[in-house]
Amino acid sequence: MYSKSVVYRFTSFASAKIAAGHCTENLSKFVMKFGMSSLTITVSKESEVSITSTFDDIANLKKFDEELSKFVIELREAFDFMENNKSSVCVFNYQRDTVVDSLKLN
């Protein structure tokens, strides 16, 4: 599994919250398009927005990376922030399945 992680540190928590919503709205459309295994977007009290995505195929990671680069250009026009960006190979990942496989009707 391959992973892409970025952290954006904003000048204020309010900016980070707005940017996180913008990231969610724009990046979630790539989940199905690039066959992501996961996409996680978080906001910290230190005004950081973290985005982590995982892929089974490195080609899809590279495609997402290109789209993310285009998105960051748009984000820079609206916000001031610092960026930490890295690609890596996922060594361990655990996610409990949250899908309901049965539904009981009354």
Burial tier of 79 (Cβ tally within 10 Å: 0-12, 13-18, 19+): middle
- Model confidence over 22-76: pLDDT tens digits? 999 999 999 999 999 999 999 999 999 999 998 989 999 999 999 999 999 999 9
Q: Domain segments of the chain: what residues?
A: 2-85
Residue 98: the pLDDT is 58
Q: Return d(Cα 17, Cα 41) in angstroms, integer.
A: 11
CATH domain 2-85 topology = Alpha-Beta Plaits (3.30.70)
| Element counts in the chain: helices (H) and strands (E) | 3, 4
Q: Return d(Cα 23, Cα 50) in angstroms, integer.
A: 10
pTM, to two decimals: 0.80
- Model confidence over 87-100: pLDDT tens digits? 667 677 677 665 55
